[in-house]
Amino acid sequence: MRLTTKGRYAVTAMLDLALNAQHCPTCLSDIAQRQQISLSYLEQLFARLRRAGLVSSVRGPGGGYRLAKPPETISVAQVIDAVSETLDATRCQGLSDCQQGDTCLTHHLWCDLSSQIRHFLDDVTLAQLMQRPDVIQVATRQQRHLETGVLASSS
C-alpha cells in the first residue's frame, strides 16, 4: 500500500478544517499547531486541495481556509486523490508486470485489496468522521491545547 505521509496528513488536515472552520475560516498555522504538521508542508497540500476544488481560501484579516463543499460530500478517497496519492497494494502499480514483465501469482489478490480499500475510503466522508466520539474527543483536546499554548511550547 502506498498511502504515505502526504495522504495521511491531507486527510488529517481536512478533518481538522471541517471541525474548526464551520463558522469562520481557519488559518493553516492553527492546523499546523494542532496536528503538529509543518506549515510549509500544509501550504503545499492545501494548494493541491484548492486546485481539486475541496477547499477555498479567504484573504485578509481573519482569513484562512474553509471547505469548498459540504463535509457530507467529501470522501477520504477524494482527499487522497487530490494530493496525488495512490491506493495501490500491488508492487507493479497495477501494470501487471510484477515478474519481469509478467503477472505474478498474487497480482489479482493485491488488485482486489486495492479495490476494497478504494471502496472503503470512497464510502467514508468527512462528515462521518466529524461525528465519531473519538474524533470529537481528540479535536476538543487539541483545540484546548492550542488555546492554552501547550502545543506551541512543545513543538
Task: Convert the pLDDT of each residue in 62-89 to its tens digit.
Answer: 889 999 999 999 999 999 999 977 777 7
Give me the CATH code for the 5-87+125-154 domain, please.
1.10.10.10
Is the four-CA dihedral 10, 13, 18, 22 of positive or negative sign? negative
CA distance linking residue 85 with residue 80, whole number of Å: 5
Q: How many CB atoms lie within 10 A of CB 7?
A: 23
Stretches in the chain below the pLDDT threshold 50: 1, 152-155
DSSP 2: -
Provide the pLDDT for residue 149.
75
Cα distances from 55 to residues 32, 116, 132, 151, in angstroms, run 16, 27, 22, 25
pLDDT at position 99 is 65
Enumerate the domain spans of the chain: 5-87+125-154
What is the predicted pLDDT for the residue at 87?
74
Are 85 and 4 spatial neighbours (Cβ–Cβ below 8 Å)?
Answer: yes
pLDDT at 151: 56
| Residue 21: predicted pLDDT | 80
